[in-house]
């Protein structure tokens, strides 16, 4: 039986390699990002190498709640059962950008947008025989803390490094709280750090930072490896609420294991919907 995979941010970088790998394993794949032409080019590129790949692109802006609400039923009409959900879209926004819904762009897209989308599609993931959610977090979460006031009203001391680290910490806290809420169901959710990967995400980082990081970058195929392993392997299916680097279980930061904070973030996220 064909299994279905849905990937946010599947038109470039790590997400595109997730799509390529899952299509290569016989999954029917839908990728969703804002730039539909770029997404179609990614689909065409994957099909050039894998002509039998079942993969298609849809347009989605996670920075726009109305667009998420429009998108979700269209996705579910095409994919009523979702075996794998790769929650992967992301960005490093410098300078500070606000979304029309009032959120700072990084927390707004990576956390709140994905939170709203997940609410829409969780039923379809539960309908799978063993639904798996894989969240692209980052080792950068270690530098993060949750500052509720910065979600919509960043102070003059706000820095994009802080905003990125906070959003990736939010991804990990979401993973842990969602796992707690899904305990006893057939759905698992885990997060991972892909490594420092050569993708477009660095474009708005300071030049000196890009130069240092550039010495250590790995390619996007390696960056996607842990996610694909979590999504498809028997071993990856044994965990939930955990954080992985290079297929190895890691504890994550102390803050990422703060259950009260994870519950608080969930409550705030519900209120924001």
Ligand X SMILES: NC(=O)c1ccc[n+]([C@@H]2O[C@H](COP(=O)([O-])OP(=O)(O)OC[C@H]3O[C@@H](n4cnc5c(N)ncnc54)[C@H](OP(=O)(O)O)[C@@H]3O)[C@@H](O)[C@H]2O)c1
Lookup: tokens for 201 = 């995400």
Instruction: Among 5, 19, 43, 60, indicate the residue that binds ligand X (CB under 6 A).
Output: 60
Distance CA 19, CA 24 (A): 8
Active site residue 27: no
Please report how close the Cβ of residue 184 comes to ligand X at its closest, in angstroms: 29
Q: For residue 95, say if its preceding peptide bond is cis, omega within 30 degrees of 0.
A: yes
Please report how close the Cβ of residue 187 comes to ligand X at its closest, in angstroms: 21
Which residues 22-41 are close enough to bind ligand X by CB under 6 A?
Answer: 33-35, 38
Which CB atom, from 88 or from 226, has the smaller least distance to ligand X?
Answer: 88
Which residues 218-247 are close enough to bind ligand X by CB under 6 A?
Answer: none
Give the x-and-dash track for 115-154 against ligand X (CB under 6 A): ---------------------x-x----------------
* Residue 68 in contact with ligand X, rule: CB under 6 A: no
Which CB atom, from 38 or from 180, has the smaller least distance to ligand X?
Answer: 38
Which CB atom, from 109 or from 146, has the smaller least distance to ligand X?
Answer: 109
Three-point CA angle 106, 110, 112, nearest 5°? 100
Instruction: Among 22, 65, 72, 88, indicate the residue that binds ligand X (CB under 6 A).
Output: 88
Phi, psi of 86 (to 5 degrees): -95, 105
Instruction: Among 57, 82, 109, 227, indicate the residue that binds ligand X (CB under 6 A).
Output: 109
Which CB atom, from 221 or from 263, has the smaller least distance to ligand X?
Answer: 221
Torsion over CA: 195, 169, 27, 184 (sign): positive
State the DSSP H helix or E strand holding residue 212, giving kind and residue range, or none if neither: helix 207-214
Which CB atom, from 74 or from 267, has the smaller least distance to ligand X?
Answer: 74
Burial readout 90-129 (b: 16 or more C-beta within 10 A, e: otherwise): bbbbbeebebeeebbbbbbbbbbbbbbbbeebbebbeebe
User: What are the CA-CA distances from residue 22 to residues 18, 26, 34, 171, 205 (Å)?
Assistant: 6, 7, 21, 22, 30
Lookup: tokens for 118 = 């997940």
* Residue 12 in contact with ligand X, rule: CB under 6 A: yes
Catalytic choice (27, 92, 164, 243): 164
User: Can you give the binding site for ligand X, defined by CB under 6 A?
Assistant: 8-9, 11-15, 33-35, 38, 60-63, 88-91, 109, 136, 138, 193-194, 196-197, 199-201
Report, as residue numbers or ranges, the catalytic residues. 164
């Amino acid at each position: 039986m064909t299994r279905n995979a849905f990937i946010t941010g599947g038109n470039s970088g790590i997400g595109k390699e997730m799509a390529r790998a899952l299509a290569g394993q016989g999954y029917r794949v839908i990728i969703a990002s804002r730039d539909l032409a770029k997404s179609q080019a990614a689909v065409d590129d994957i099909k050039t190498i894998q002509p039998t790949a079942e993969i298609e692109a849809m347009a989605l802006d996670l920075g726009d709640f109305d667009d998420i609400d429009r998108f979700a039923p269209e996705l579910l009409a095409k994919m009523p059962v979702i075996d794998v959900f790769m929650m992967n879209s992301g960005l490093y926004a410098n300078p500070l950008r606000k979304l029309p819904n009032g959120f700072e762009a990084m927390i707004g897209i990576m956390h709140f947008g994905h939170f709203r989308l997940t609410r829409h599609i969780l039923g379809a993931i539960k309908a799978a025989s063993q639904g798996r959610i894989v969240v692209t977090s980052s080792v950068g979460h270690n530098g993060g803390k949750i500052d509720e006031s910065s979600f919509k009203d960043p102070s003059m001391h706000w820095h994009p490094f802080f905003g990125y680290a906070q959003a990736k910490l939010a991804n990990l806290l979401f993973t842990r709280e969602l796992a707690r809420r899904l305990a006893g169901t057939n759905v698992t959710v885990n997060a991972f750090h892909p490594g420092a990967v050569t993708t477009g995400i660095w474009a708005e980082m300071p030049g000196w930072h890009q130069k240092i990081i550039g010495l250590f970058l790995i390619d996007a195929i390696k960056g996607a490896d842990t996610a694909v392993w979590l999504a498809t392997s028997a071993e990856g299916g044994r965990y939930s609420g955990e954080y992985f680097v290079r297929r190895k279980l890691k504890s994550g930061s102390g803050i990422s294991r703060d259950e009260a904070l994870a519950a608080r973030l969930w409550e705030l996220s519900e209120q924001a919907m």
